Amino acid sequence: MPTVSLQLCLVGLVAGFIAACVIIVFRSLLHLWHQFMLGEMGDYQALEPIVRLFLPVCAVILVLGVALLTGFKHYRLGIPFVIHRLKLYYGHIPFRSSINQFFGGILALGSGFVVGKEGPTVHLAAAAGHYIGRWMRLPFNSLRIIAGCGVAAGIAAAFNTPFAAVIFVMEVVLRDYKVHVFLPVMLAAACGSVLTRSVYGDVYALSFLTFEPVTGWELLFLVAFGFIVGCVASLFNYQLMFLMRLFRPVNMVFRLLLAAALTGIVGYIFPQALGGDFVNIAPLFESELVFEGLLALFAAKLILASVAIALGVPGGIIGAVMIIGMLLGLVLVTPLSAMTYTSSPTTYAVLGLAGLLASVLFAPMAALSAAMELAADSRVVLPAIIVIVTACITSKQLFKNSSIFIQQLDFQGLPYTTSAVRDWLQQTGVLSLINEKFTLTINQSSEALVELLSNEHDKLLIHQHYPTDGGDTKYEWVRISVNRSDDDTVLDKQPVFILTQQHTLADVHDALHKRRQGAVVIIDQLLDKDKLFVSINEVNEQTHHVQNLNKCLIRGVITWNMLNGYLLKRQHTM
């Protein structure tokens, strides 16, 4: 069973360092883009109206250019895609997909689309963490954890919120609460936060807000506040999924251009509606809040965010949801503040952020920790709990809403769960079960195999048939059949698959469970370095990548009977 490991913690720290560096480079390039285009971070009002109109369109053309160079099939981005790859492929994210996310994220975030930076952050950080683990040739059951470490460091580096990063990884990305996972993820998040503070200073994203305690009758008002937030969260998720279904038949090029055109038109008329970062709404809190203006800005952000995310703009949903939640809080409390005493409107902006984020993602702990760290005030915890619980219950019970990430995964047909058996087998490496007593033979006759089996009956016999006519090499597990007559010896030959020592017992199960027989030979690594990582769907083709087992370092053999016996033993001991 997995246990706490110093080595894994150290590797997680290294992966966190690399991932944080990638995100800092990403943020720095984004800042340079803003300074070049706007002169100041998020200042879209300084642009000429005609520039605001065409800036999103130009950005989309560049995004499509990058996608054309890398291949449109690699335009799979965002947190749902990362969740899918972590669950089924041990966190392996195609490099070309990461290229699309890196440059596409900078272009989308710098051109006024209402999307968040956490989408590119999670994608790039997970990829960086995984490639570090892959370069170190770690077992695949560790690669998912290392990718999670990368995500934690990336989130901490992007928002300076190490605690929220840990909770987000455990609750949303890995969906796995275990101590041996917690510790390396915590170290990586701390590393990411230290790096970002050393580069950008110890600044919190919502430092421009002043949080005031909520007491007395306002605690009762928070129940009604949370109810409305839950309704809006359900509306947002429904609207987003409706648009995704509506435009599914439309070509990706036209979808992106449509999102750019709508964003440009709204930005031409209403420049405050552009952008999905906190810096875009910070000026609101420096002037007197007008209800009509807040309502218009809330509606514009809600529509632009839904359109951009649904039509495939390379950005995240969380940043946009947090901005919309803050505006929703201001919209709900501003009329009330004019009639009676309430806490500062900025207090309800933070609570709106927490409630909407929790009920859109169905990640209450991640939302609570994010609100607390972003506001840098622990007094937000009690009122935020009331709002989050009310909003989540309203969204789930009244509107049958669920996590937007799960809805997106179901819509895209990307699996994110596995059977309990496979989920458990993924945590155990092949080296824990291998039989090191084996004999490898090449092109032997049946008589020679029978004699060898008779002399070495305590060893497994793997026979390699290497045809002289240039055909495919075949591997078989050979044994004397128990269903033979007294005067005839029959060899029982069962299929053999080749896996590396990095694989898990889940991959062995995938290779053998259809026939419920056969064996898997575990080698040190594949001769073809480009085929070092083999996904679970490629196990059955793995044999063709190894031309000669005699040239490989064979670690051992696992048979179906061994795996089945292991499963039965664990079932009775658990």
Question: pLDDT class for 118, splitting at 50, 70, 90?
Answer: confident
Q: Give the highest mean pLDDT range of 80-94, 240-254, 557-571.
A: 240-254
Q: Tokens for 486?
A: 């007294």
Q: In what order do the strands lie in the sheet with 474-480?
A: 438-442, 460-465, 474-480, 491-500, 519-523, 554-559
pLDDT at 543 over 80: no
**What does the pLDDT read at residue 537?**
42
Helix H or strand E segment including 345: helix 345-361
Residues 6+ apart with CB under 8 A from 167: 365, 366, 369
How far is Cα 476 from Cα 375, in angstroms, rounded to an integer?
63
How far is Cα 191 from Cα 180, in angstroms, rounded to an integer?
18
Question: pLDDT class for 492, splitting at 50, 70, 90?
Answer: confident
pLDDT at 572 over 60: no
Are the CB atoms for 427 and 504 separated by under 8 Å? yes
**What does the pLDDT read at residue 540?**
42
pLDDT at 502 over 60: yes
* Strand pairing report for 460-465 and 438-442: parallel
How far is Cα 425 from Cα 507, in angstroms, rounded to an integer?
8
pLDDT at 418 over 80: no
How far is Cα 55 from Cα 267, in angstroms, rounded to an integer?
10
**What does the pLDDT read at residue 483?**
61
Mean pLDDT (whole number) for 407-415:
88
pLDDT at 542 over 50: no
For the stretch 329-382, pLDDT in tens is 999 887 776 656 566 778 888 999 999 999 999 999 999 998 888 887 788 888
**What does the pLDDT read at residue 551?**
62
Measured CA angle at 164 (ends 158, 167), to 5 deg: 125
Mean pLDDT (whole number) for 109-134:
90
**What does the pLDDT read at residue 548?**
59
pLDDT at 288 over 80: no
pLDDT at 496 over 70: yes
Domains in the chain and their CATH numbers? 6-200 (1.10.3080.10), 218-251+268-412 (1.10.3080.10), 430-573 (3.10.580)
* Partners of residue 476 on adjacent β-strands: 463, 495
How far is Cα 297 from Cα 294, in angstroms, rounded to an integer?
5
Q: Which residue has the tokens 């609750």?
A: 171
**What does the pLDDT read at residue 530?**
39
pLDDT at 574 over 60: no
Closest to 272 measured CA to CA, from 257, 292, 252: 292
How far is Cα 128 from Cα 181, in angstroms, rounded to an integer?
18
* Strand pairing report for 519-523 and 491-500: parallel
Question: pLDDT class for 245, splitting at 50, 70, 90?
Answer: very high
For the stretch 40-52, pLDDT in tens is 777 788 888 999 9
Q: Which residue has the higher pLDDT, 474 or 193?
A: 193
Share of the chain above pLDDT 90, in %: 33
pLDDT at 420 over 80: no
Residues 6+ apart with CB under 8 A from 421: 509, 567
Q: Which residue has the higher pLDDT, 463 or 62?
A: 62
Q: Tokens for 194?
A: 């230290």
Question: pLDDT class for 235, splitting at 50, 70, 90?
Answer: very high
For the stretch 147-189, pLDDT in tens is 999 999 989 888 888 899 999 998 888 877 777 788 899 999 9
**What does the pLDDT read at residue 449?**
78
Q: Three-state SS for 445?
A: coil
Are the CB atoms for 425 and 1 separated by under 8 Å? no
Are the CB atoms for 294 and 327 separated by under 8 Å? yes
| For the chain, counts of helices (H) and of strands (E) | 21, 6
Residues 6+ apart with CB under 8 A from 164: 155, 366, 369, 370, 372, 373, 374
How far is Cα 569 from Cα 561, in angstroms, rounded to an integer?
12
Q: Which residue has the higher pLDDT, 361 or 493?
A: 361
pLDDT at 536 over 70: no
Share of the chain above pLDDT 70, in %: 89
- Give 488: exposed, middle or buried? Use CB within 10 Å, 0-12, 13-18, 19+: exposed
Name the least confident of 34-48, 101-115, 182-196, 321-335: 34-48
Mean pLDDT (whole number) for 96-108:
90
Q: Where on the phi/psi map is residue 543: left (φ > 0), alpha (ψ -120 to 50), or beta?
A: alpha
pLDDT at 219 over 60: yes
Question: pLDDT class for 503, splitting at 50, 70, 90?
Answer: confident
**What does the pLDDT read at residue 475?**
78
**What does the pLDDT read at residue 497?**
84
What is the average pLDDT value for the chain, to the nearest integer? Answer: 83
Q: Which residue has the higher pLDDT, 335 or 77?
A: 77
The residue type at 225: F
Residues 6+ apart with CB under 8 A from 410: none
Closest to 241 measured CA to CA, from 405, 75, 353: 405
Measured CA angle at 304 (ends 83, 371), to 5 deg: 55
pLDDT at 266 over 90: yes
- Give 135: exposed, middle or buried? Use CB within 10 Å, 0-12, 13-18, 19+: exposed
Are the CB atoms for 212 and 174 separated by under 8 Å? no
